[in-house]
Chains A and B, each alone.
Chain A
Amino acid sequence: TQLLEQSPQFLSIQEGENLTVYCNSSSVFSSLQWYRQEPGEGPVLLVTVVTGGEVKKLKRLTFQFGDARKDSSLHITAAQPGDTGLYLCAGAGGGGADGLTFGKGTHLIIQP
């Protein structure tokens, strides 16, 4: 069974600070995705990383896929209250049965 461990589980910081969220597994994934979920809504895809060592940037968010494709990180620079939400990493095993394996998520609160 593939498992994804996310850390920290909860994080509350002040506006303007930087933060990093981690997603680790003992399994190799063909791709890894990051989602953001707000209360009462479904997860919204932020980014997909496919290649080991890949780095993608989305405005103030920087996503990195580990060289061995077992781990990933999300770094937010100068966090804003609008970044508040549940951040989920999800791995896909590849092949036809490619339902995602999700971590438990990181609850992020950015205080003004």
Chain B
Amino acid sequence: EAGVAQSPRYKIIEKRQSVAFWCNPISGHATLYWYQQILGQGPKLLIQFQNNGVVDDSQLPKDRFSAERLKGVDSTLKIQPAKLEDSAVYLCASSLRGTSGSNEQYFGPGTRLTVT
């Protein structure tokens, strides 16, 4: 079974530029998450999708970040304009809700963003 795919793996941009990240979840996984992981910290949830609807975007800086999952499969995360503090690894994860009620998420390799 193929895992979560993300691209690009690395991106370097200047502040005030725009950038977009792409994620393809595990086939059949209805729930998709974007996390931001700053160096030395654990991942922080940005947004959660259930199919093509947003479930939780309370921690998404909506003045500069946007995300969509139009057809309920692939998703894109965009930053416009980028700031220096946006330098981080952006992780995509997907989940297939199990009957146990637990939430087991499977992560992609991440996109490492450097803003200069």
Which of B33, B44, B100, B103 has the largest number of chain A CB atoms within 10 A? B103
Would you give the 0/1 interface string for A28-60, flagging 1 where the beta carbon is closer than 8 Å to chain B?
001101010000111111001010000000000
Taking CB as reference atom, which chain B residue is nearest A103?
A: B42
- Count of interface residues, chain B, beta-carbon cutoff 8 Å: 27
Instruction: Produce 1/0 per residue, A72-112, CB < 8 A to B.
Output: 00000000000000001010101011111111110000000
Bound complex: CA A102 to CA B37 (Å): 10
Q: Assuming the A-B contacts A96-B50, A99-B56, A102-B43, are A33 and B101 also in contact, with contact meaning beta carbons closer than 8 angstroms in the complex?
A: no
Closest chain A residue, CB of each to CB of B58: A97
Q: B102 to A31, Cβ gap below 8 A?
A: yes
Q: Which residues of B contact A43 (CB under 8 A)?
A: 43, 91, 107
Do residues A96 and B55 form an inter-chain contact, with CB atoms below 8 A?
Answer: yes
B-contacting residues of A (Cβ < 8 Å)? Answer: 4, 30-31, 33, 35, 40-45, 48, 50, 88, 90, 92, 94, 96-105
- List 9 interface pairs A-B (beta carbons < 8 Å), by A numbering: A31-B103, A33-B103, A33-B105, A35-B107, A41-B110, A94-B101, A97-B56, A98-B103, A100-B45
7 closest residue pairs by CB, A with B:
A102-B42, A42-B107, A99-B45, A97-B56, A92-B103, A31-B102, A48-B102
